[in-house]
Structure 1
């Protein structure tokens, strides 16, 4: 079976990084990948490679996908989609002012995508379950396959970078994006600092979006719009706690990276990667992401009783390693092709 993977394999975005890990995991198999840069050349490539393949898998969101799906339909090729994000929800939660007409347009486009392909692979089990609830008309099309992770590379990077912990330093990645809900973390830390007379610091990393100004109004916050990946790992390494308080997180690679450099974790129940940590306990999970009292209580608990060692023991490395995850995806597509 020959698969043609269509998507972003060149940028530094999350989906592109995941796509390249998938490519690494499929080395040695009969696979074609999109390489063309310009739109005209990409369309020619879509036609030629679809002709040469048994099926087409779109692994990044792009308007060009819809042209590719039409080409595949004409050529009677099965189509698959690896879903990294749900644009409908992301527009609704992250925009300061939501335009209902624009929201409907985005959702109609995604519905058209789900209708056009034969199968949709979400990048985590939790994400799949969510999609089945919000798009029930396409429930049978949703499956999941975890993002591919190079754990060996992570471990090598961590070895030379692990630093002595700063007891009062907390970090959260996501910047001012509302979806990351870092403002509630700020409120919780302020509550702890005032109540206990301690001086917790919060480092926030990420683009401004809508909430940066409000986040930076807290005097204990240090904010970076962007940093080199190595510097992010250094900060995670020297921090006592990493908090991911997302309203919605399809996977969450930063969670795994933080754990790799021995950082304690406090995670919202909405994070896809949480299912990879079999030893996680209630005290490690934020159930109400808008409740600063719950978050403050659990920050205090994790800082007093570290959870990094316990969580690392329960991390299901085999489930999401790039070789295992890529092979699982290949086998799922192959099975669908045989049964279809």
Structure 2
């Protein structure tokens, strides 16, 4: 949706699905009418997917694809323009010894660091589906989300004006847990509108659920549906500042919501697990889970991302072992 009627279009879609205006009562009726999550079944499915074996040749493909799906991240209070420039340099040339090494999808920074990331990328700044690197910015009083709506909207608009291609917002978990679904819905809708650029296009909006604070799988499912109904382009597990962050069962649940949404509307929504995924071995489990749940067509930058700061280093190490002939693993690699 990239025109001035986005808010109206989102509301019309919500009215159609909810059977009425997106009031707190209508949202509660819909969200609490969703089938409950079978926790044991979900965890068993995730465990089974996590023990799949893949061929060594498939591992080489998976490692390259993982790199292409990474949001290379620095989100520290001590971030400086120099640190952001170093992050961008790493993204542009992940393996200085191998020019064929793919690049991450994006660099993810705080909003005030966006201009430095954009400048450092230069002509490489652009659509990762076309071989470029996006700039993602966290916004809306990340990571707590505890600020006024006016500040959240200004935070978002400033980052977009500075050149951010993607906005990672956080929902108000307190409002959600208190059952004030209309409040959370309206904030996401308004942040989505704040992603609008002067030319009428929109920065992609990733909605962070902070699943580690939602307590139950049912809440994760409801928050996922709510975020998509309100116009999120992605649903994201975590800020990386709260434990537990991304887990395979939670990510599988979110992928299943996206699958059900696609079946209902034909629309493809992205998923971003973030926080705690630091090894190639673990990342491959997520790749397998996406492929088995939604199909390999979802393993592209505009539909799946890893939020990570250290994952790239381990993937590069595993990739070097394979490409230099030093990999001595079996023909089939067990990823459990």
Q: Normalised by the size of structure 1, how large is the TM-score?
A: 0.29
Larger radius of gyration: 1
Query: Could you say which structure has the greater relative contact order, defined with CA pairs below 8 angstroms and 6 or more residues apart?
Result: 2
